[in-house]
Amino acid sequence: MQLYNKLSANERAELIEKAGKERLTLSFYKYARISNPQEFRDQLFIKWDSLDVLGRIYVATEGINAQLSLPADNFENFKTHLDRIDFLENVRLNIAVEQDNMSFLKLKVKVRDKIVADGLNDETFDVTNKGIHVNAEMFNDLIEDENTVLVDMRNHYESEIGHFKNAVTPDVDTFRESLDIIEDDLKAHKEDKKLVMYCTGGIRCEKASAYFKHKGFKNVYQLDGGIIEYTRQVNEKALENKFIGKNFVFDERRAEKISDDVIAQCHQCGKPCDTHVNCANDACHLLFIQCEDCKAEMDNCCSSTCKDINALPYEEQKALRKGQGNSNDIFKKGRADHLPYKKDLRNIFETLKK
């Protein structure tokens, strides 16, 4: 019985090309009590592999977080399967704003300690005691209120290419970093301000809203379905779009365009640009923003050193990597010192303190 992916990304891409079928990219999450995550994980893999599902799925005792693609003509069978799982019946599926048949090239279903790493070890914290969910129209009204603090619960490299107008964008590399920072900077406003949060699809906000309620915040709201669902409602109901730029996504597409605004810049030359790439040098693989001119000049690399290494024959590159761990730059997500136009660190709540 096959319980793990056995094809390479290139082999899978060839199969998708040959099949000639349109695929849907979507995501969903659900906080729930799963007593045996490993058994649940194996059952999901067997069923989803049979439906040609590809993606990155995390399962934990606290629930499931899924980002995936599947042939459009398998969607109804997939939905029927979800509805037969008690806690996933009628779960909201966030359909991607922009579709791409190659958004995922492997099926990875992994058991994790948590579906969203938060660094919390507080047994009194109840993740199901969440904040008030608001739709796109209510969200637009809320963020115009002078008593509202709008907080982006994503990481710096996500908000760098797109965010809501007037949002506080924490300069953090991980979700777990943002929780204490936000609580500390807003501790004086636990009762008099409306704390409104958003993220890509809602999963981080749901946990954060429960956490901040646990910490004593009285008026906590989250954008239901995140940026993805907000965009769908804006388009469907002809609402004013208050999101500027692109929505970063964690698949091969890397981003969805929500507005025509380009709010970021190439990390190498400073030109307006919001296209994330990974350095072509496999020993580096740094995620950073690169324009087409720099891409051509640098051969898809983040530095001259990486460019030189990437030009070597594959076997020589492999020999250089032998015994070496990944460079720490891989974790900096565009903050490597050799990028002259990387995003600057700043006080995330400076607007509140003016």
**Structural domain boundaries in the chain:** 9-111, 132-237, 264-354
Give residue 347's pLDDT band: very low, low, confident or very high (50, 70, 90). Answer: very low
Active site residue 199: yes
Residues 90-135 have pLDDT tens digits of 999 999 999 999 999 999 999 999 999 888 877 778 888 899 999 9
**Cβ(348)–Cβ(185) below 8 Å:** yes
Give residue 6's pLDDT band: very low, low, confident or very high (50, 70, 90). Answer: confident
CA nearest to 248, candidates 130, 153, 342: 153
Architecture of domain 132-237: 3-Layer(aba) Sandwich (3.40)
Q: Give the per-residue pLDDT at 331.
A: 55
Beta carbons within 8 Å of 325's beta carbon, 6+ residues apart: none
Residue 351 reports pLDDT greater than 70: no
Q: Give the per-residue pLDDT at 19.
A: 94
Residues 37-66 have pLDDT tens digits of 999 999 999 999 999 999 999 999 999 999
Q: Give the per-residue pLDDT at 325.
A: 63
Identify the active-site residue in 199, 266, 273, 306: 199
* Site of tokens 């190498």: 268
Q: What DSSP character marks residue 285?
A: -
CA-to-CA separations, 334 to 32, 188, 200, 258, 280, in angstroms, rounded: 34, 33, 19, 22, 14
- Comparing 15 with 127, the larger pLDDT belongs to 15
Q: What DSSP character marks residue 98?
A: S
For residue 150, which amino acid is it? Answer: L
CA-to-CA separations, 108 to 5, 19, 220, 285, in angstroms, rounded: 7, 21, 34, 20
Domain 9-111 of CATH type 3.30.70.100: yes
Residues 251-290 have pLDDT tens digits of 999 999 999 999 999 999 999 999 999 999 988 999 999 9
Q: Give the per-residue pLDDT at 197.
A: 97
Angle in degrees, 0-180, between the axes of helices 175-186 and 203-214, rounded to the nearest 10: 40
Beta carbons within 8 Å of 322's beta carbon, 6+ residues apart: none
**Cβ(220)–Cβ(214) below 8 Å:** no
Q: Does 9-111 match 132-237 in CATH topology?
A: no
Residues 294-336 have pLDDT tens digits of 999 999 999 999 999 999 999 999 888 887 766 555 556 778 8
Of the chain, the end-to-end C-alpha distance in Å amounts to: 62
Beta carbons within 8 Å of 338's beta carbon, 6+ residues apart: 302, 303
Q: Give the per-residue pLDDT at 330.
A: 55
Residue 232 reports pLDDT greater than 80: yes
How far apart CA 307 and CA 322 sit, in angstroms, is: 19
Q: Give the per-residue pLDDT at 49.
A: 96
Extract the tokens encoding 206: 């749901």
Mean predicted confidence (pLDDT) in 3-22? 92
Q: Give the per-residue pLDDT at 327.
A: 55
Mean predicted confidence (pLDDT) in 175-191? 91
CA-to-CA separations, 321 to 102, 294, 298, in angstroms, rounded: 28, 25, 20
Give residue 349's pLDDT band: very low, low, confident or very high (50, 70, 90). Answer: very low
Q: Give the per-residue pLDDT at 323.
A: 74
Strands 194-198 and 23-31: unpaired
Q: Give the per-residue pLDDT at 328.
A: 52
Percentage of the chain exceeding pLDDT 70: 94
Q: Give the per-residue pLDDT at 127.
A: 84
Supply the mean pLDDT for the chain: 92
CA nearest to 45, candidates 88, 106, 91, 87: 106
Mean predicted confidence (pLDDT) in 213-241? 96
Residues 156-167 have pLDDT tens digits of 999 999 999 999
Strands 243-248 and 255-257: antiparallel
